[in-house]
Structure 1
Amino acid sequence: MIDVVFPRNNEGAFVDMACKLGFDSLVFVYDSLDFRKISSKKVNVFYALLLPPEKIGVARSRRVLAFYKGGSRAREAIERSFDVVFSVEDDPRPDHLHFRNSGLNHVLCRIAHKNNVRLGFSFSEVLNSVNRHVLLGRIMQNIRFCRKFKVHMIVASFARSPFEMRSFFELRAFFETLGMTSKESASALDWL
């Protein structure tokens, strides 16, 4: 089982918490190019860069995963074949009466499926959200889109501190209540 975290010089604390919670792999996501690689015997450690769409070549040259946090340029990131695009449902526009502004539509799902881009769902965004009810509805809609168009999904805590991490049983149960099947949630937690 894999979790995705954003360390700030506290990689050891994340590794210890991952062992306690039962994860066997961690992905450390950094937003700058100067990060230190650590070796751990407890968990497998992978590295990723949080980049704007035009900088994907940097991640490819360093042989690390390329992550993009959703926003107005999510389509560009999906077209450029980022490894993971997450939090696309974090759209400031209000929902309409007949549909939600979830940041995802059938066109983006087809492109993501074609380019083998994984869409990530962040538990930390739900945990720290002000409009949690809106965010949960958007996540539910995006899960349905991903299922319909066979887009690979990932589920992780995306924690910024070790205390925001949750065990994979809790993550799996939470996203199954939002509409994932047990097979989808199992593959979303073991995606590398």
Structure 2
Amino acid sequence: MPMEQEITLIMPTEAIQPDSVDYDEWEHKIQEYRREFLENGDTINGSRGLHHYEKIAGWLEQIKACEKDNNSYIGVPVTTFLAIRRDSPDDWTIVGNIEIRHHLNPALEELGGHIGYSVRPSQRRKGYAVSMLRQVLCYARTLGLKKVMLDCDKSNTGSLKTIQKCGGIHSRDLLSEYQGRNIVNSQFWISLP
């Protein structure tokens, strides 16, 4: 299904300032986004743990800390984006989030890869994941990456199709533990010419 409207990726650490006039609007929109996942029983993959934060200040600190190399959270630098759809000149919606880990460590080679993402439950099947991933692949090139690894639960048909539409080549399936359950995790590589 084609995307309803174009989306823009923004870095929350650059766009959201505690003393800005739109801080309360950001707080409201991000919490509304977070709540939809929680009410749907979903995790927000690729968000640096947004589901844990009832206020965005702590989450912004977390993603800012994760931008640094050798951080204590994941060990590699991570850039996090929100995907914004402009609904009108005065209104907008967060439709998804995506993050890129600038390089892999042994844990990420096993589970996680370079990129993680989520699309808001009410906004799925509209092409947003493909658009988000394509934009982050362009960003990955600016980091000097020649190829990136992505993975997903083999039963996640939507994510499998997204990765393949963006050039993902299947490399292997692994039995992995994720959130306390065993899953078959499919790994893919995307070359960045």
TM normalised by structure 1 equals 0.34
TM normalised by structure 2 equals 0.34
The structure showing larger relative contact order (alpha-carbon pairs under 8 Å, at least 6 residues apart) is 1
Q: Which structure carries more strand by proportion?
A: 2
